[in-house]
Amino acid sequence: MEQTFIMIKPDGVQRGLVGQIICRFEQKGFTLKGLKLITVDRPFAEQHYQDLSAKPFFSGLVDYIISGPVVAMIWEGKNVVLTGRKIIGATNPAASEPGTIRGDFAIDIGRNIIHGSDSVESANKECALWFPDGPVNWQSSLHSWIYE
């Protein structure tokens, strides 16, 4: 089953949105396979965002991500990478639809409260980077009530 990496950024944690964000993924039917509250250092944040290292906003983005604890998660489910991105909404909250996490809770692109992997390939890389010991191996008893 597909997995994705989701991170509640420092602003989401500071604003007390952790519960509401987790709730949206749970309500959809996805399964939580990894969860930790962690403050990362600059080299780790630079590694996570290495594909964006040439962007003008890169150092501000890294400052933002290391500014406080983040909630790192692995979520599992059918099409969870793409559906997770839809639940999160567009990168710029100004363009995010109401009903999405960024559309409901954020205003500025540089304070958009959550990250979600943008492809299965990035998801696998990011899950391995943040959870080197792998996901928690458990099977939800709801499986047959969610999938036909």
Positions touching ligand RTP (CB under 6 A) are 52, 57, 61, 91, 109-110, 112, 115-116, 118
CB 129 → ligand RTP: shortest distance, Å? 13
In the complex, the smallest distance separating the C-beta of residue 58 from ligand RTP, rounded to whole angstroms, is 8
115 counts as catalytic:
yes
Minimal distance in Å, beta carbon 19 to ligand RTP? 20
Could you please report the per-residue DSSP string of 47-108? HHTGGGTTSTTHHHHHHHHTSS-EEEEEEESTTHHHHHHHHH--SSGGGSPBTBHHHHH---
Question: Long-range contacts of range 40-47, CB-CB < 8 Å, 24 or more positions apart?
Answer: 40/65, 40/66, 40/70, 41/66, 42/66, 47/129
**Residue 40, CB half-sphere, CA atoms under 13 Å: how many?**
24
CB nearer to ligand RTP: give 77 or 87.
87
Structure tokens at 67: 């500014």
In the annotated binding site, the residues are: 9, 57, 85, 91, 102, 112
Interior CA angle at 146 toward 142 and 148, to 5°?
Answer: 120
Nearer to ligand RTP, 57 or 147 (CB): 57
For the annotated binding site for ATP, the residues are 9, 57, 85, 91, 102, 112
Residue with smaller CB distance to ligand RTP, 22 or 140: 22
| Residue among 115, 127, 130, 131 flagged as catalytic | 115
Active-site annotation, residues: 115
